[in-house]
Amino acid sequence: MQFSTPCQVERPLGMKAFRILIVDDEPLARERLRDLLRSEPSAELIGECTNGPDAIAAIRRDRPDVVFLDVQMPGCDGIQVVHDLPAEHRPAIVFVTAHDRFAIEAFGVHATDYLLKPFDRDRLVLALQRATADLGTRHTVNLGARLGTVLAHAASAPRQPARLAFRSDGRYVFLDAGEIRWAEADGNYVRLHVVNRSPLMLHDTLSTIEERLGPAEFTRINRSAVVRRDQVKEIQFTAHGDYIVVLRDGTTLPLSRSQRSRLDAFGADGA
C-alpha cells in the first residue's frame, strides 16, 4: 500500500476529518483522485492500494471512514473486496468505474455513491457530502446492511436488465430494451438508435454496448453495427453475392461475410 501526504479537511462541528483510502489499479486514476482530494477541505488521505487483496488488508487494519473503490481490477474486483469485509467493518464505499452496469442497483438502494469516470471536482464534492451524511447519521451496521443489499442486487442482476441506463450528453437516459432498434460505431462513440427519439451518442465502444444489450435479443451484423433481431424485416441478396439487412424502419445495413452464420438468428434459412 502506498501512502501520500494527508489532505486537510473540514467537517461538521464535533466530527473529525475523514480518513480516506483510494483503491484503483490505474496510476493516473489514483493521481487524479489524490489531486482532487488535496483541494477539498474535507479529508485525510491515509493511503492507496492497487489491487483487491491489498485493499482488504488495509481496510481491516487501518479502518478508513471512506474508500474510493474501483469496480474493475485484476484478480479481485471492487465488488469482491466489499464481499470479503465483515458488514460491521465496512466503511462508506464510493464505487469508482468507467462503466455504469451496476449504477442502477447502487442508486436504487441508496448506496453511499457511485462515480463514473471521468468525473469533475463538483461530482467528487457531492460524493464527499453523501459520505458525510452517511457517517454522521447512520450506525455502521446500517451502512453495512445497505452495502450488502447493493452487492446482492449486483450479484443477482440478470445479464440483460429490463431497463438500461445510458450516459449521454451529461445525463442518464433510461430505456427499455425494446426501445432500442440498433447501435452503430461512430469514431470514439456509439450512436444508439431508439424508438420515437433522436439517436443517443454514447462515449463507449460498440463491443461494450453489445455486451450490455446481451445476445438474447441483439446480434452483431458487421464490425460497426448491432441490431435488435425483431427489428429485422428482411435480408436481401445483391447481384454481387452480398447480403443486405433491412430493418422495419427502412434502414439498410450490410451483413458482413463473417457474420452470415448468424442468419439463423433472424429466423432465416441462410444458404
| pLDDT value at residue 147 | 57
| pLDDT value at residue 128 | 87
Report the predicted TM-score, pTM, of the whole model to 2 decimal places: 0.49
| pLDDT value at residue 260 | 63
| pLDDT value at residue 242 | 78
Q: Is 43 helix (H, G, I), strand (E, B) or coil?
A: strand
What residues contact residue 254 under an 8 Å CB cut-off, 6+ apart? 221, 222, 242, 243, 244, 245
| pLDDT value at residue 112 | 78
Report the C-alpha gap between 127 and 213 in whole angstroms: 29
Residues of the chain with confidence (pLDDT) below 50:
2-15, 105-110, 139-141, 157-159, 268-271
Q: Which is nearest to 55 in space by CA: 32, 92, 82, 34?
A: 82
Q: What is the CATH number of domain 18-156?
A: 3.40.50.2300
Q: CATH 2.40.50.1020 region(s) of the chain? A: 166-266
- In contact, 245 and 254? CB cutoff 8 Å: yes
In CATH terms, 166-266 corresponds, of 2.60.40.10, 3.40.50.720, 2.60.120.10, 2.40.50.1020, to 2.40.50.1020
Q: CATH 3.40.50.2300 region(s) of the chain? A: 18-156
| pLDDT value at residue 263 | 57
| pLDDT value at residue 141 | 42
Q: Is 89 helix (H, G, I), strand (E, B) or coil?
A: helix
